[in-house]
Structure 1
Amino acid sequence: MATSIPYNSLFGYGLVNASAAVAQAIGQKCFADVPNSGGDNWGLDMVNAPEVWNRGYTGEGIVVAVIDSGVDYTHPDLDDNIWVNSDEIPGNGKDDDGNGYIDDIRGWDFVNRDNDPMDINGDGHGTHVAGIIAAEKNDFGVTGVALNAKIMPVRVLDSFGGTEADIAAGIRYAVDNGADVINLSWGGPFTSPEEAQAIQYAFNKGVVVVTAAGNDGGLQPVYPGRYATDFGITVGSIDRNHAMPYYSNHAGTTPLDYVVAPGVDVRSTFPGNRYESISGTSMAAPYVAGVAALVLSANPNLSPAQVENTLTATANSTGIRSASVYDGFFNLTSDDDYFEITPGVLADSPLGLRALEGNDWVEGSSESDIINGNQGNDLLGGNGGNDTIWGGKDKDDIFGDAGNDNLNGNIGDDFISGGAGDDTVRGGKDNDTLLGGSGNDQVFGNMGNDRLHGYATSGIEYDTLTGGTDSDTFVLGGFWGVSYQGAGHAIITDWEGELDRIEVPGNASQYSLSYSNLNVGSAANDTGIYLGTDLIAIIQDSTDVNFSRDFKFV
């Protein structure tokens, strides 16, 4: 764990700096600046990659495994930088290298159990990640951070996510077949012993593991990012103005190897010889994986721990803004303030926090806090404990984290995430995005065109989703897969046919609807939504539901 730069619970150690990291890896000072690349390569300028190329370090000889949805290895900006298994004879139907995988010339598909790790999911996720790491430097498209590194495609995700067994096997495959760096741009709220053991295996075998911190705006990373207390490094997202977006998970109060990198509107390779701009910590992590490849190309003798320490020790630290205390509450007195509460220092639990007008950041203690955002575009975090938070006016980002929280948005287009625990989430007026998180949650949209997320990936969970007035979208799946798959279900209490929508991944052929009394609400018939034979949601007291009109497949 790095100690030369102060650790911040929002941004960890700060923005990754390729120039400083590679210079430190070879015992030199930070390299001289070079002109910015500009345009679609603005992220390269932010992490100072061109300064490293100028000194001759380009990732040459380093293999980066992209363990994801696959990679379009035919893309003209990637095809010359795809790893090839030189110990395998193509097309002879034999396992020439004895690694247990027949004809794995360019990686492996653990979803379909074959040697074609092509990115076929439709979202282009793995291909986009691969381009950020190692797109070729040519006269078109984009350029990767480690422009001469090799990409090892390992497909473990389909449109519904991936299994723990496939993910763990994919990590071990990458380690055993020569990867120097592994990029994991996915995650979820629950720990997995299989995945944790595979990441530790990589660490012990000398492989650097880079993970995405998560996109639910939590006050700490999701898994596997949270394993960075011991193994690997996890990455949050910032935009080109060095501002952390609402969705990026923070570093958390428990120190771990966490840095930030560009992750908003990042343009990169996409299947079908295309390019797309995508946002998320999934895009930030490959910047750091690319920088790790540059570090290792300069000094291949570094251990994973030494690489991680180099990245954190040379990051550009961000400052902590000031606050003042008044009448048992923290009153944030400038327009853009941040304050983090330490339990037991300033007040007994429950701790009261009140922001003034302006755009404030308030993070509560691990106890049960009462936080009032007042006016302005506020970032309010409860941290641990059973917290009560009011957003006030304007556009607020509210995070409950652990504990049974009561979160209220009020006026403005708010983003509210309950985190772990049995939470009550209320959007208030305007168009809100509401996530219950893990636990048995009650989510109320109230007025406006709201997005209510039923978010459950393991364990038994029953959430109640009430949209309120106007046109609401009930989200039952996303990058994490299908919610409530083998894990309880959501109850949608106030369905309005022709106004409301259901959002799920995949296509209509994978789902079915039933119309019967499912013993929720009144004696009227309900609509059951099934993934195969698994009930994932009940629309209470309404059968006015059909796929063509009411479902959005993503």
Structure 2
Amino acid sequence: MKYNLVAILAICSGTLLAAKPDHTFLPDPILNDTTQKTPKNWHHLDPEKDQYPGISTERAYKELLKNKPSKSVVVAVIDSGIDIDHEDLKDVVWINEDEIAGNGVDDDKNGYIDDVHGWNFIGGKNGNVEFDTYELTREYARLSKKYQNLSDSEKAKDKEYEYFQKIEKEYTSTVERMRNQFNGFKGYFENYSLSKKLMEAYIMTEKLDVASLKSVDSPDERVMAAKQLMLYALENGLDDKQFEEGFDYFNTALDYGYNLDFNPRDIIGDNYEDLSQRVYGNNDVKGDFAFHGTHVAGIIAAKRNNGLGMEGVANDVKIMVVRAVPNGDERDKDVANAIIYAVDNGAKVINMSFGKSFSPNKELVDKAVKYAEKKGVLLVHAAGNSSKDVDVKDNFPNRTYSNNGVKANNWLEVGAVSWEGAENIVAKFSNYGKKSVDIFAPGVDIFSTAPDQDYQNASGTSMAAPVTSGVAALLLSYFPHLSTTQVKDIIIKSSINYKNLKVYKPGSEELVKFGDLSINGSVINVYEAVKMAQRIKAPKKKL
């Protein structure tokens, strides 16, 4: 899912304030298609040898890992679903050897029938959830119902009322802003359509280009206005397809995300209020919205050296598919169950490229995170795409346990860097946090797998997280004696230090030190990680 809405919204409202709720599938904030000047594999390249801030994957394989034995590692991808029949993924998809496909029996007695490649927690007998509301909407709907018949004095005594007032203010202002932007978008689209027709007729062409537009000179103000509008559109990568996707984005948000009356949970058929319920869903791990998950899976583990599309980071990985993320906000119950399922079925790394600003059942997710920590499973989480400081603005799930403030040791929070380097190295959309974000990884214009045998570019911390998950899996594969805690420490300590580099703070033109944007002020590097891992000897076996 890729939108170039920032350029459109800049004209619609005179600002860059897109209505962007903190859910997984945010509009892609990159304005231009850079694939012509950026290598498709830039994130695998070496900063020193290739002059791109990649993670040195190819260098690590050629110089350090050649002819070295490896052990297969299971990585769970909790996401929107994965096209497991993709040519570059079908050989790396996890298979539950204890389950007999299609027999309608829970052969391995884990509670999930025919979970051959994973499980779908947002599906049921009646199909699959594609769209869902945002958590902000769900909280506003829940609390509005709670307080609608209470007196002012009763509201004042209720411990949740202050929280409700915050929710109400944010919901109403966000929806109003979204509707205003949509109106501006529609107005700009009308001007765009008229300008396009006028310039095509004036130049006598069916396809406009920048050079032809720049040559136009006319005393007619309408012609010159149309020229300027079309020049802006072309120079910012806007075309008919982008506008179609823009309409889709706004309609999806207003019809589903912010719709107080929309509830797709009947499709699943669970008792949503029963937070202890573990077994529900179906085994359709692709679902109806598989682009995001398929792209993430390819970054981690697309089959290497097969002559197809692209190369994953890790070469001996099995991808377990756990579908829990709709087009909208994931629900805490599903996230918790997804983590537990992944842990119980052998995942050593769990990639979580999703997030939101509210988590009404955070303690349930915390319990699952603690379970993963106890079992030695590494959780890799995308920091989010709202250009915000997550030290001060909530982004869930996170590593801090709500009941005691203790931080999970098995958690990596990942921001995104761009191929541009220098002061532009931090992705403009990436969240950051001196206390909350561990590390940065490539997350702009990442070329990876897409459903139906396709390959596409996408940008986001959603791409940076699987780069990191791939590195973790690679280390566990080639150095199976390492614990996940050791792997986390290696990834951090071996990363390339940019602490003192002056960079643009996401969402602004302010130059700050890279070290002010994360705990470690560094970018992941697999070559250096492998070198460090080689120095940690396996413990001697007891006789």
1:212–1:225 CA contact under 8 A, matched in 2 = no
For the structure 1 residues 59 and 235, does the alpha-carbon distance in structure 2 shift closer, same or farther, using more than 3 Å as the test? Answer: farther
1:210–1:234 CA contact under 8 A, matched in 2 = yes
Taking only aligned residues, the RMSD between alpha carbons, in angstroms, comes to 2.5
Q: Does 1:132 align with 2:132?
A: no
Q: Which of these residues, 378, 384, 388, is aligned with residue 510 of structure 2?
A: 378
Report Cα offsets for 1:84-134 as digits up to 9, x if no partner: 000111111111111110111111111011111114216x11000000000
Q: Does 1:167 align with 2:175?
A: no
Please give the alpha-carbon distance, in whole angstroms, between the structure 2 residues aligned to 1:77 and 1:131.
7
Deviates more, 1:165-174 or 1:190-199: 190-199
For the structure 1 residues 361 and 49, does the alpha-carbon distance in structure 2 shift closer, same or farther, using more than 3 Å as the test? Answer: closer
Matched AA of 2:384: G
Please give the alpha-carbon distance, in whole angstroms, between the structure 2 residues aligned to 1:125 and 1:234.
19
Q: Which of these residues, 60, 71, 90, is aligned with residue 79 of structure 1?
A: 90
For the structure 1 residues 189 and 234, does the alpha-carbon distance in structure 2 shift closer, same or farther, using more than 3 Å as the test? Answer: same
Q: CA deviation at 1:215?
A: 0.7
Q: CA deviation at 1:319?
A: 3.0
Please give the alpha-carbon distance, in whole angstroms, between the structure 2 residues aligned to 1:361 and 1:98.
50
Please give the alpha-carbon distance, in whole angstroms, between the structure 2 residues aligned to 1:133 and 1:143.
9
Who is 1:223 aligned against?
A: 396
Who is 1:53 aligned against?
A: 61
Q: CA deviation at 1:303?
A: 2.2
Please give the alpha-carbon distance, in whole angstroms, between the structure 2 residues aligned to 1:251 and 1:204.
26
Matched AA of 2:332: E
Q: Does 1:193 align with 2:363?
A: yes
Please give the alpha-carbon distance, in whole angstroms, between the structure 2 residues aligned to 1:91 and 1:111.
20
What secondary structure, in the 3-state scheme, does the structure 1 residue paired with 2:41 have? helix
Please give the alpha-carbon distance, in whole angstroms, between the structure 1 residues aligned to 2:438 and 2:70.
22
Who is 2:42 aligned against?
A: 42
Please give the alpha-carbon distance, in whole angstroms, between the structure 2 residues aligned to 1:184 and 1:162.
11
Q: CA deviation at 1:229?
A: 5.9
Matched AA of 2:348: D
State the structure with bigger RCO (CA 8 A, min sep 6), 1 or 2. Answer: 2
What fraction of aligned residue pairs are identical, expressed as a percent?
Answer: 41
Please give the alpha-carbon distance, in whole angstroms, between the structure 2 residues aligned to 1:320 and 1:380.
9
Please give the alpha-carbon distance, in whole angstroms, between the structure 2 residues aligned to 1:378 and 1:257.
19
Q: Which of these residues, 70, 78, 93, is aligned with residue 67 of structure 1?
A: 78
Who is 2:479 aligned against?
A: 299
Please give the alpha-carbon distance, in whole angstroms, between the structure 1 residues aligned to 2:90 and 2:96.
14
Q: How does 1:271-420 map to 2 (within 5 A)?
A: 271-320=451-500, 377-378=509-510
What secondary structure, in the 3-state scheme, does the structure 2 residue paired with 1:269 have? strand
What secondary structure, in the 3-state scheme, does the structure 2 residue paired with 1:80 have? coil
Who is 2:380 aligned against?
A: 210
Q: How does 1:245-260 map to 2 (within 5 A)?
A: 245-252=427-434, 254=435, 258-260=438-440
What secondary structure, in the 3-state scheme, does the structure 1 residue paired with 2:78 have? strand
Who is 1:23 aligned against?
A: none
2:299–2:463 CA contact under 8 A, matched in 1 = yes
Matched AA of 1:83: W
Please give the alpha-carbon distance, in whole angstroms, between the structure 1 residues aligned to 2:89 and 2:479.
25
2:78–2:323 CA contact under 8 A, matched in 1 = yes
Q: CA deviation at 1:314?
A: 0.6
Please give the alpha-carbon distance, in whole angstroms, between the structure 2 residues aligned to 1:237 and 1:60.
29
Report Cα offsets for 1:222-243 as digits up to 9, x if no partner: 2224546643111100011331
Q: CA deviation at 1:380?
A: 8.3
For the structure 1 residues 86 and 119, does the alpha-carbon distance in structure 2 shift closer, same or farther, using more than 3 Å as the test? Answer: same
Q: CA deviation at 1:59?
A: 6.4
Please give the alpha-carbon distance, in whole angstroms, between the structure 2 residues aligned to 1:92 and 1:234.
40
More helix, by proportion: 2
Q: CA deviation at 1:160?
A: 2.3
Q: How does 1:258-277 map to 2 (within 5 A)?
A: 258-277=438-457
What secondary structure, in the 3-state scheme, does the structure 2 residue paired with 1:234 have? strand
Unaligned runs of 5+ in 2: 1-37, 46-53, 124-280, 401-406, 518-543
1:182–1:209 CA contact under 8 A, matched in 2 = yes
Please give the alpha-carbon distance, in whole angstroms, between the structure 1 residues aligned to 2:328 and 2:317.
30
Who is 1:115 aligned against?
A: 283
Q: CA deviation at 1:151?
A: 0.5
Who is 2:315 aligned against?
A: 147
2:384–2:415 CA contact under 8 A, matched in 1 = yes
2:428–2:506 CA contact under 8 A, matched in 1 = no
Who is 1:324 aligned against?
A: none
Matched AA of 1:109: N
Please give the alpha-carbon distance, in whole angstroms, between the structure 2 residues aligned to 1:304 and 1:78.
25
Matched AA of 2:396: Y
For the structure 1 residues 58 and 155, does the alpha-carbon distance in structure 2 shift closer, same or farther, using more than 3 Å as the test? Answer: farther
1:58–1:149 CA contact under 8 A, matched in 2 = no
Q: CA deviation at 1:40?
A: 1.4
Q: How many residues align?
A: 294
Please give the alpha-carbon distance, in whole angstroms, between the structure 2 residues aligned to 1:229 and 1:205.
12
Q: CA deviation at 1:188?
A: 1.6
Matched AA of 2:474: L
Matched AA of 2:41: N
Q: CA deviation at 1:378?
A: 2.7
For the structure 1 residues 164 and 218, does the alpha-carbon distance in structure 2 shift closer, same or farther, using more than 3 Å as the test? Answer: same
More strand, by proportion: 1
2:356–2:396 CA contact under 8 A, matched in 1 = yes
Matched AA of 1:218: K
Q: CA deviation at 1:362?
A: 11
Who is 2:270 aligned against?
A: none
Q: CA deviation at 1:69?
A: 0.4
Who is 1:239 aligned against?
A: 418
Unaligned runs of 5+ in 1: 1-37, 322-336, 339-359, 364-372, 382-398, 400-554
